[in-house]
Structure 1
Amino acid sequence: MKSFLRHTASIALMSLSLWGLPNAHADISVSGTQVFDGNGHSFKMRGVNVPHAWFTGRTDQALQDIAALGANSVRVVLSNGAQWTRTSESEVASIISRAKAEGLITVLEVHDTTGYGESGDAGTISGAVDYWLDIQNVLQGEEDYVIINIANEPFGNGPSASTWVDAHTQAISRLRNAGLTHTLMVDAANWGQDWEGIMRNNARQVLNSDPQGDVIFSVHMYEVYDSDSAVNSYLSSFSSQGLALVVGEFAADHYGSYVAADAVMARAEQYGYGYLGWSWSGNSSELSSLDIANNFDGGSLTSWGEQLFYGANGIAHTAHPASTFGESAGSSSSSNSSENSGSTSCGTAANGYPYCCDSSSDTGGGWGWENEQSCVVPERTTNDTSGNDGADNTGDEDASSGGTCDWYGTAYPMCQNQTDGWGWENGQSCIGQITCNNQ
C-alpha cells in the first residue's frame, strides 16, 4: 500500500488440509502453485499487514492480537530509509522473534519503493536489495519462518514488461549470490494491481531466473478487482500457469470504491492461494475503513476486520498454522511426562498432530493450542456429544454453546448473542442461526 500519508493510485477455523510432499530443502519453499513450510507441508498464508515502519511501538501487541484471532502469517512494513525512518537490524530481529513466538510466518517488505516511476519519492528495487544485504545477518537461519518480499509495489503505472522483469531478475540474482536462500515474494506493477498484466504475463520468466525456483508472486487487489469475475480471472490465470500467488494486500473498499473482498477470500480458498488483509490499524482518515482493528485494539474489530476474520472464507475459518511451529514445539516438549503430551493422552490425527484434550478447546473441528504445541480439535456435529471422533476425549458438549451449524461440511458453534452473521463468543467464532439456515 502506498504511504498512509498521501493518496495513491492503488493501495497498495481452521480447516484441515491434505499435506503436500516435502521439497528438496527444509525451508519455506515453492513447488508449482503451492507453498510448503519447512517440514514439507502445504501452507496457505492467511494473515494481516502490520504497519511497523509508521507505528513501531505497536508491533509487538499487534502480533500477539493477530495470532490470537487465528491468523497464521503477517506481512510487516519495513523502511530502508529512502522515505521513512530506516528499520534497524535489531528491530527486524525483534519482529522475527516475536512473530515466531506467536506462531506466525513473517513476510518482510521494504515499503519505500511504492510507485517508483510515478512517485518522485519512491526508492528503487536495487536500493531495497541493498537493505536486505545490509541486514542479512538477522535473516540467515530464519528460512523456515521468514519470506522476503523484495519491494512493495515497486512500479507505478506505465513501466515496460522488460523493466519489471529485469529489475526483479537482477534483484533475485544479487540476493542468491549473497547466500540468502529464503523464499522470495515479488510484487506486481501498477501499484501492485497489475491491471496491465505485466506480472501475469511475465511471471514465469522471473521464476525461471531463480536457481531455487522459490518465488511467490503477489498482487494487491483493490478497486480494479470489483467483481468475482475479475478476481477469478486473475487467480485462475496463475493457477493454470502453475505459479504460486498470494493476494498480498486487499480490503473491502478503497477510497469509497467497492472491492470484492469476499470473492478474494473465496477464490483464494478455491485455488489454494494465500491472502493478507490490509491493514491492522493506523490508516489515514480517508482510508480509515481499511483499518482491521479500531485504534490497534485486537478486541475491537472494524466491519472490515469482522469480514476478514469471520467471513465464510475468512481467516478464522480457513487458516491452519505452519507445521514448523507445532512440530518444533512438540519435539522440544517430548522429554516431558506422558500426561503433558497431547499425542500420548488423546491420540493422534491422520496428519500426525495430537488431538486436543481440553474440551474447552472444542470449536467444532479445526486447530487448537495445548501443551505448547498445535493440536487438532475433533470435529463434532449437533448429534455427536461424545467429543472424541477418534480421540479419547471425554465430556459432553457445552450446554451454553446452543448446538452447532454444519457450514458447508464444517461444524461451528451457534451464536447465543446474535441471530445472523458471524460472531465471536466464549473465545471462539460462532454463526448466527439465521445465517446458518440460509446458507
Structure 2
Amino acid sequence: MPRTIRLRSSGDDVRFLQERLNARPPSALPPLDVDGKFGAKTQARVQEFQANNGLSTNGVVESLTWGSLLGHAVAQTRGFFVLGRDLYDRRGARVILRGVNKMSVWDNDDPVGLVSFPQIKQTGANTVRIVWAITTNLQPGGPATATATLDALIKNAKANRLIPMIELHDGTGTWGRLDDLVSYWTQPEVVKIIKQHQTYLLVNIGNEVGDAKVSQADFIAGYSDSIQRMRAAGIRTPLVIDASDWGKNLEMLNSTAATLRAADPEGNLIFSVHLYWSLACGADASFIRSNLQQAVNLGYPLIVGEFSQYGGYPCGNPNASICGPAGEIDYRTILAACHEHELGWYAWEWGPGNGFNDPLCAIMDMTHDRLFANLKPGWAHEVAISSPFGIQQTSVTPASI
C-alpha cells in the first residue's frame, strides 16, 4: 500500500493526496496548494474527509484512509506501490521506469549480470527487466534454472542502482502455462528470495502469456487467481501483468485492468503492453498515439514492457522476417508518446543473443558484446543516448535505490 503520511510528511505521494482531495466534491475548506508538503491545511482537509467517511479523524493517512480515498482495499508494503496510474518508491517518490531488457537466463558468459548491469547503468537507466525462466529450454520438465542465480541477478541489479523487474519467459504465447508460472513464484524458495528483496523489486508474472485466442473472461479469471495465489504466498511487491496476444493486445488491458485491480488485496498492480505494432499492419504515428491516449484516459498503471525498431508482425508478407522491413516499428513515436504521457518503458534488448533463431534479428541487440562503449548506432543509440526522449535524457534514479 502507499506509505502512511501525516503532518510534516513530504513527497510526490503527498502531492497525489492533495490532488485527489481537491478533485472531490466541494469542501468547506479552501483548495489545497499542490506542493507535496503535508501542512496544517492538508491535515484539516484529511480530517474533513475522514469525518465525512466514518473514519477516525486523526489526520493521518493510513491504510483505511487510503483505501477510502482510492476506492479499493490496500495493504501495508515496504517497497514500491501504485497510486492512480503511477509507481512510487517506499519514500513516496514517483518513479518513471526507463530501462532495457536483458536475456540473462541464456547468457552463459554473463549469467548474473556482472558485466551487463554496470554497462546498462552507463546509459542512465533506472531499471532492468531480467528475462528469467523455470527451465532453460522453456519446456515443462526441461533443465531447471537455479534460484541462487536469480538471487544473484537481483542483488547485482540493485548493486548497480537498477530497479530489478524479474519475469518468467516459459509461458510466452501459451496461455496454458500461466498456472506453471504461478507455481514457480509461490514455491517457498522463490518466495524467500522475493521477500528478501521486496523493498526494491518488481515481479512480472509472465512474459506475453497467451496468444490472440485468449478471451477476456479467461484473462480475468486466470490473472485473478494468479494474483490471489501470489498474495496468499506472501508476495507483497507490485505485480506486473503483460497483455495477451504475445504482449500486444492493449485493448485486453483496457477492458480488464479495473476488474483485476479490484481482485488484488494489495491494490498494487502494473499492466504492461509490448509495442510490436508494425508499420506494415498500419501502426503509424497516429495509430500509436491514439491507442496510448485511450489507455491513459482510463487511468490505470501502464508501462511498455518491450519495444524495438523491429519485431512487428509482417502484415501482407507473413513469410517475411519480423526483423526485416516488414517488421519495422515506429519506435520514435513510441519514445515521444511515452514521454508525453509519462509512461515507463523497457527497450528490447541489451544483447547479444537476438539472432539465435533468425540471424536478421541480431539487429535487435543494442550491443554485440554487452559493452556500453559498443552501443550500436541507429535505434539503439537513439533509445539510450541521443533521443530527447531516451534513457539518458529522461531517466531519474530514485534516491531509495
TM-score category (smaller protein): 0.7 to 0.9
Counterpart check, 1:223 vs 2:294: no
User: Sequence identity of aligned pairs in percent?
Assistant: 27
Is 1:272 the counterpart of 2:272? The answer is no
- The aligned residue for residue 209 of structure 1 is 263
The offset of 1:223, in angstroms, is 2.9
CA shift, 1:69, in A, is 1.7
Pair 1:128 & 2:186 matched: no
Q: Deviations over 1:346-369 (max 9, x none)?
A: xxxxxxxxxxxxxxxxxxxxxxxx
Q: Could you tell me whether the CA contact under 8 Å between 1:149 and 1:184 is conserved in 2?
A: yes
Residue of structure 2 in register with 1:138 after alignment: 193
User: Which stretches in structure 1 are left out of the alignment for 5+ residues?
Assistant: 1-17, 118-122, 326-439
Aligned to 1:315: 391
1:25 deviation in Å?
Answer: 4.2
For residue 222 of structure 1, report the CA deviation from its aligned partner: 1.2
The Cα shift of 1:324 comes to 0.6
Q: Distance in 2 between matches of 1:245 and 1:146?
A: 17
The structure-2 alpha-carbon separation of the partners of 1:150 and 1:227, relative to structure 1 and needing over 3 Å to count, comes to same
Following the alignment from structure 1 to structure 2, what is the Cα–Cα distance between the partners of residues 270 and 319?
14
When residues 166 and 224 of structure 1 are mapped into structure 2, their CA distance, relative to the original with a 3 A threshold, is farther
Distance change (3 Å), C-alpha of 1:112 and 1:150 = same
Offset at residue 292 of structure 1 (A)? 0.8
Amino acid in the other structure paired with 1:97:
K
> How do residues 98-247 of structure 1 correspond to structure 2 at under 5 angstroms?
98-117=156-175, 124-134=177-187, 135-194=190-249, 197-224=251-278, 226-247=283-304
The residue that corresponds to 2:34 in the other structure is: none
Partners of 1:157 and 1:102 lie apart in 2 by 37
For 1:165, give the aligned amino acid.
I
- CA shift, 1:156, in A, is 0.9
Corresponding position of 2:19: none
Report if aligned partners of 2:11, 2:91 keep a CA contact under 8 Å in 1: no
Q: Give the Cα separation in 2 of the matches to 1:201 and 1:185.
A: 16
User: 2:167 & 2:305 partners in 1: Cα distance?
Assistant: 11
Q: Which has the higher helix share?
A: 2
**Number of residues paired by the alignment?**
302
Q: Secondary structure at the match of 1:48?
A: strand
**Counterpart in the other structure of 1:54:** 106
**Secondary structure of the structure 2 residue equivalent to 1:107:** strand
Write the distance in 1 (CA, Å) between the matches of 2:144 and 2:367: 25
Tell me how far 1:85 sits from its aligned partner.
4.0
Q: Matches of 1:110 and 1:241 in 2, distance apart?
A: 28
Partner amino acid, structure 2, of 1:184:
L
Counterpart residue identity of residue 74, structure 1: V
Q: Does the CA contact (< 8 Å) of 1:26 and 1:40 recur in 2?
A: no
User: How far did 1:92 drift?
Assistant: 1.1
Instruction: Give the distance between the partners of 1:92 and 1:162, measured in 2 at CA.
Output: 33
Matching residue of 2:131? 77
Counterpart code for 2:354? N
For residue 20 of structure 1, the aligned residue among 12, 17, 26 is 12
1:141 to partner: Cα distance: 3.1
Kept in 2: contact 1:53–1:85 (CA 8 A) = no
| Contact kept in structure 2, 1:29 and 1:183, CA below 8 Å | yes
Say which structure is richer in strand. Answer: 1
1:289–1:304 contact (8 Å) kept in structure 2: no
Aligned with 1:293 (options 361, 364, 367): 367
**Cα distance in 2, alignment partners of residues 324 and 56 from structure 1:** 31
Asked if the contact 1:290–1:304 (Cα under 8 Å) also holds between the matched residues in 2, the reply is no
Structure 2 Cα separation of the partners of residues 101 and 184 of structure 1? 22
Equivalents in 1 of 2:345, 2:119: separation in Å? 18
Match of 1:334 in 2: none
Cα distance 1:20–1:238, how it changes in 2: closer, same or farther (>3 A)? farther
**Post-superposition offset of 1:93:** 1.0
Task: State the alpha-carbon separation in 2 of the partners of residues 205 and 114 from structure 1.
Answer: 23
Q: Read off the aligned partner of 2:225 and give its amino acid letter.
A: Q
Alpha-carbon distance in structure 2 between the residues aligned to 1:277 and 1:85:
28
How far has the Cα of 1:323 moved from its partner? 2.3
**Residue by residue, what CA displacement relative to the aligned partner does 1:163-220 show, whole Å, maximum 9, x if unpaired?**
111111100000001111000000001110006x222211111111101111110000
Write the deviation string for residues 293-322 of structure 1: whole angstroms up to 9, x where unpaired.
123232111222101112120000000002
Report if the CA contact (8 A) 2:79-2:201 is conserved: no
User: How many Å apart are 1:233 and its aligned residue?
Assistant: 2.1
Residue 63 (structure 2) aligns with: none
Query: Counterpart of 2:153?
Result: 95
Instruction: Output the TM-score relative to the length of structure 2.
Output: 0.72
SS in structure 1 of the partner of residue 172 of structure 2: coil
CA distance in 2, matches of 1:26, 1:133: 19
